Chain A
Amino acid sequence: MAIAKRPSTEMGQRLFEYAAAPEATDHLKIADSYALFVGGRFVEPHSRRRFATVNPATEETLSEVAEADETDVDRAVTAAADAFRSWSRLSGAKRARYIFRLSRLMQERARELAVLETMDGGKPIKESRDVDVPLAAAHFFYYAGWADKLEWAFPNRRPRPLGVAAQVIPWNFPLLMLAWKIAPALAAGNTVVLKPAETTPLSALAFADICQQADLPPGVVNIVTGAGSTGAAVVGHPGVGKVAFTGSTEVGKQIQRATAGSGKHLTLELGGKAANIVFEDAPLDQAIEGIVNGIYFNQGHVCCAGSRLLVQESIVEPLLAKLKSRLGTLRVGDPLDKNTDVGAINSRAQLEKIEGLVNSGIEEGAEIYQPECRLPERGYWFRPTIFTNVAQSYRIAREEIFGPVLSVLTFRTPDEAVEKANNTPYGLSAGVWTDKGSRILWLVERMRAGVVWANTFNRFDPTSPFGGYKESGFGREGGLHGLAAYVELS
Chain B
Amino acid sequence: MSVPAIKTEELRKVFGDQAAVKGLTLQVEQGEVFGFLGPNGAGKTTSMKMLLGLVVPTSGTASLLGAPIGDLATRARVGFLPEHFRFQDWLTAREFLLLHGQLLGMDSHDLKTRLEDLLERVGLTPFRNKLLRTFSKGMLQRVGLAQALLNRPALVFLDEPTSGLDPVGRRLVRDIIRELKEQGACVFLNSHLLSEIEVTCDRVAFISHGEVIRAIEMASLEKNLSRVTIRAAGLTSESISGLARWGQDIQANNGRLVMTIHQEQDLPEITRYLVAQNAEVYGITPNRLSLEDIFIETVGEDGGL
Say whether A and B bind each other: no
Write the residues of chain A forming the contact surface with B, with a CB cutoff of 8 angstroms.
none
B residues whose Cβ falls under 8 Å from a Cβ of A: none
